[in-house]
A and B are shown apart, each in its own frame.
Chain A
Amino acid sequence: MDLVFTERQRAFRAEVRDWLAAHVPPEPLPSMDTETGFERHREWERTLAGARLSAVSWPREHGGRDADLIDWLIFEEEYWSHGAPGRVSQNGVFLLGPTLMAHGTEEQKRRLLPRMARADDIWAQAWSEPEAGSDLAALRATATPDGDGWRLTGQKTWSSRAAHADWCFGLFRSDPGARRHRGLTYFLVPLTADGVTVRPIAQLDGEHGFADIFFDDVYAPAGQVLGEPGAGWRVAMATAGSERGITLRSPGRFMATSDRLLALARESDDQTLRDAAVRAWADADAYRLYAFHAAARAAGGAEPGPEASLTKVFWSELDLRMHEVALELLGPRVTAQWLDGFLFALAGPIYAGTNEIQRNIIAERVLGLPR
């Protein structure tokens, strides 16, 4: 059992820290859910990419640094503690990227990954449909063979970043005879393709971060299928695993929030809230230790599995609790940063599979309770 960073890890941290100190914008960028803000965030991603810091855990050949999980955790700790901008490219870099590397063809990787790392393409997820949210396997959008390619028809909804993104990825029903999880195919679709209509949806925070995506007989060549036709569910679960595990929402993000929360608590004489802040800090710290432990297990060859659901419930509920405590500590002095953070945290227990779905997965696939 060893909890000491190596010389190399410390050097990497120092490099990231120095770079961030010199480059993080002094003022927060406008919301990425506005047109201007989206492009400002895209510019920031390009700045990161210029230092090979936009996708550190990717292989070098695709624009990354071959960082292992510990390096990635270090990067994230520094990133969020410096108050760097939210990652407009996260759907691509953290979710689709690893899935592409595992299931994509060499041609797809060469074509798509470098553009993703430079934020030339920013990706949106197209999972949910009006009648298929938590029950994703109830999805109805179809893919019909057409020559060497496919024709896509249907509606995806609540698609984060879609209002301004360049591409989307999602599941379509390619075998009308198959039911539920079978006969689904994973597609990569440019949002500029003929027949695609994006309708931004106003969110409760007043922004238009997510959108409906309508597909009206959209042509998708064979090169836009990820994995084997019909094997879409399995490919999608790889993406979902990334989304729920430590790679989308790393401990660093919550450590930074918990440090800011502790600073608020020091100024307060409300013992209940002080204790709540201390507890939240300890929980963020626990998530960090869990991640280090998971990294050691992964280095030992353990495959990430349904345990990702444990993580997702933990960080999403911690994030919300921290913001609730902060709002109480601040009262009328609440700042835009905490308020925006609170609204964003409210979405945590819903996106990436609601926490109810995660608890079902934990119960059935980790604990072995009957379906």
Chain B
Amino acid sequence: MRFAVTEDQRLLAGAVGEALAATCPPAAVREAGRDPAARRAAAWQALAEVGLLGALVPEEHGGLGLTIADTVLAYVETGRHAVPGPLVESAVAAPSLVGPDWLVKLAAGVATVSVAMPHLLDADLADLLVVRSGAAIVLAEPGEITLIPNVSIDATRRLFSAGPYRPGPPGRKTHGTEAAGGALASDTGIAGGFHEGFDRPVEHAFDQAFDRAALATAAQLIGLGRWLLDASVAHARRRRQFGAAVGSFQAVKHRLADVAIALEFAAPVVYRAAYALTHRTPTARRDVAAAKIAAGEAAGGAARGALQVHGAAGYTGELDLHLWLTRVWALRAAWGDESLHRARLRDALLGDSPVERLP
């Protein structure tokens, strides 16, 4: 029993943190809200170079062949820097869903993937769209699925619904099924539970992709929350009212102390879920649910606290703060909102089977 981050995990996280400090300043995050191409700019390339984009891709396809536990701290860093783009979708979810040809491209950082969960994030710039349709996984190239824009609270995250599907010429490797064109719904009769180069049942692949992506999102929420706490503390030390730093007032202190407590106790829950997924423990799904809830609530508290402590300045678009706030709100709803994860936790804990504690 040594429930601590390993040196390798720390090194990868450190490399990711450094790469993002150099390539993903707040100005880059802001730019991603204005210019779609900026969602796949310098930071994306830097993450490919440090290996994060291919971290979960097997070595024979050009990746690092790491586990989700190996990368959990690195995802905390991607949250801290609010890195834009479909990172979790491409680097965490997609490796469970696509075949070898795409794995190679993902690891090289030359492709981005959008996965419908249920919305397609950044589908306007993705090279591949992955949509689940009944018992099939549909891999579509841009243009094959009509994209219907959705609202998004975070300007750096563009969300789309999948509209009508018009596949290209048959026989292309990217197609998961011998599907006929039409609406993507469970009753469209898209055939087959497998797609080429893919040896696992669709159900299993989607569950794995979902749980891993939810976990990585939880890790990002921890990083976002920590950035927000640091920013709030810095502001509260600097900002003076009534002749004193506002951070000297107990109302402010206690609020930020609560933010710190929630983040401190959420992080090990996220690490444990990464461990459970990696080792495929029977409690893994429940542990991911607990992680997504704990991280979402802690980051949500950090966001509310940060906005309140920053006052009216925090409500402006001039400060960078709003980029982190809107990201938190967006990610709390991504890869299963807390309502979904609460239901999973409830089913696991209040169901008929005895509750296991691991270890």
Contact = CB atoms under 8 A, between A and B. Distances in A.
Given A259-B355, A290-B264, A366-B260, 14 more contacts: A1-B9, A4-B1, A70-B1, A265-B350, A277-B350, A282-B269, A293-B267, A295-B3, A310-B264, A314-B261, A358-B257, A359-B253, A363-B247, A364-B253
A5 B253 CA distance: 39
B62 interface: no
Interface string A271-293: 00011011001110111111011
A368 B233 contact: yes
A369 B237 contact: yes
10 contacts: A274-B350, A278-B342, A281-B349, A290-B264, A293-B268, A295-B3, A314-B261, A314-B265, A363-B254, A369-B245
Contact of A286 (B233, B253, B254, B269): B269
B236 A369 contact: yes
A360 B253 contact: yes
Nearest to A73: B1
Interface string A295-327: 111011000000100100110000000000000
B4 A293 contact: yes
Interface in A203-217: none
B5 interface: yes
B6 interface: yes
A371 B248 contact: yes
A328 interface: no
Binding site of B, secondary structure by majority: helix, strand, loop or mixed? helix
A297 B268 CA distance: 12
A298 to B, nearest CB: 10
B47 interface: no
A299 B349 CA distance: 32
A299 B2 contact: yes
- Interface size range on A against B: 35 or more
A314 B259 CA distance: 12
Among all A-B residue pairs, the 8 with the closest Cβ atoms: A363-B253, A296-B4, A289-B268, A359-B257, A362-B257, A369-B247, A292-B3, A359-B254
Binding site of A, secondary structure by majority: helix, strand, loop or mixed? helix
A293 B271 contact: yes
Interface string B1-41: 11111100100000000000000000000000000000000
A2 B253 CA distance: 35
B252 interface: yes
A356 interface: yes
B336 to A, nearest CB: 15
Interface of B: 1-6, 9, 69, 229, 233, 236-237, 244-245, 247-248, 250, 252-254, 256-258, 260-261, 264-269, 271-272, 274-275, 290, 293-294, 342, 345-346, 349-350, 355, 357-359
A240 to B, nearest CB: 17
Nearest to B276: A3
Interface centre among B229, B237, B349 (most CB of A within 10 A): B349
A274 B258 CA distance: 25
A359 B248 CA distance: 12
A88 interface: no
A369 B252 contact: yes
A105 interface: no
A266 interface: yes
Nearest to A300: B4
B269 A275 contact: no
Nearest to A10: B359
A337 interface: no
B1 A370 contact: no
A32 interface: no
A168 interface: no
A299 B2 CA distance: 9
A274 B256 contact: no
Contacts of A299: 2, 4
B141 to A, nearest CB: 38
A22 interface: no
A367 B257 contact: yes
Contacts of A359: 250, 253-254, 257-258
Interface of A: 1-6, 9, 70, 255, 259, 262, 265-266, 274-275, 277-278, 281-283, 285-290, 292-293, 295-297, 299-300, 307, 310, 313-314, 356, 358-360, 362-364, 366-371
Interface centre among B6, B261, B271 (most CB of A within 10 A): B261
B271 A1 contact: yes
B264 A1 contact: no
B2 A370 contact: no
A80 to B, nearest CB: 13
A126 to B, nearest CB: 28
Contact of B261 (A262, A285, A313): A313
Contacts of B268: 286, 289-290, 292-293
B237 A2 contact: no
Contacts of A290: 264-265, 268
A33 B180 CA distance: 77
Contacts of B359: 3-5
A296 B359 CA distance: 15
A281 B271 CA distance: 18
Interface centre among B2, B266, B271, B359 (most CB of A within 10 A): B2
A303 B87 CA distance: 37
B293 A369 contact: no
B265 to A, nearest CB: 5
Nearest to B278: A1
B3 A310 contact: no
A274 B346 contact: yes
A3 B247 CA distance: 39
A369 B253 contact: yes
Contacts of A282: 269, 290, 293-294, 345, 349
B233 A275 contact: no
